Amino acid sequence: YSSSQLTCWFARDPFCYEKFVREEVLEPGFLDRFADADLAGREALIDPEQTARILAEFKRLRLTDETLYLRNGAINLVNGMINMSFSCDGTQYIDHHSFFAELDKFG
C-alpha cells in the first residue's frame, strides 16, 4: 500500500501495536517470529486460506482503479470483521462472510 507498512495488534499485548515495513514482511521467515501467537485462547473465525484470499482481494482492490482504490484494510481474525478505507467512498466495516459474498460491489 502507499505507506508500505503492516500494522499488527497481537492478543499477547492488545493495547500496543507493531509496525513492519514492506521489506521486513517480504523476507523469508517473517511469519516464523509469530509462531507462539495463540490468540489468547480464542478461536480464529477466519482461517489461513480465507486470510490469503482476503489479502489477494485487498491487492486487487488497491490496484484495479486509479481513482477509487483501497487505501488501507484490516482483518480481525478473532471476530471475523474486515475494515476497508477507500479513496473516494469512505470506510466499509463488514464481516468476512459478507465480504466474500459482495466482492463485486467493491470493484
23-37, 50-64, 90-104: which range is least confident on average?
A: 23-37
The confidence score (pLDDT) of residue 107 equals 60
pLDDT digits (tens, 9 = 90+) for 39-88: 777 888 999 899 999 999 999 998 988 888 898 899 998 899 999 999 88
Amino acid at 103: L
Domain total of the chain: 2
Does one domain contain both 7 and 52? no
Spatial distance between the Cα atoms of 39 and 97, rounded to a whole number of angstroms: 21
Is the predicted pLDDT of residue 21 greater than 80, yes or no? yes
DSSP annotation string for 26-86 = HSTTGGGGGTT--GGGPPPSS-HHHHHHHHHHHHHHHHS-SSS-EEEEEE-TTT-EEEEEE
31 and 49 co-located in one domain: no
CA separation for the pair 31, 11 (Å, rounded): 16
Residues 4 and 34 placed together within one structural domain of the fold: yes
Do 13 and 59 share a domain, yes or no?
no
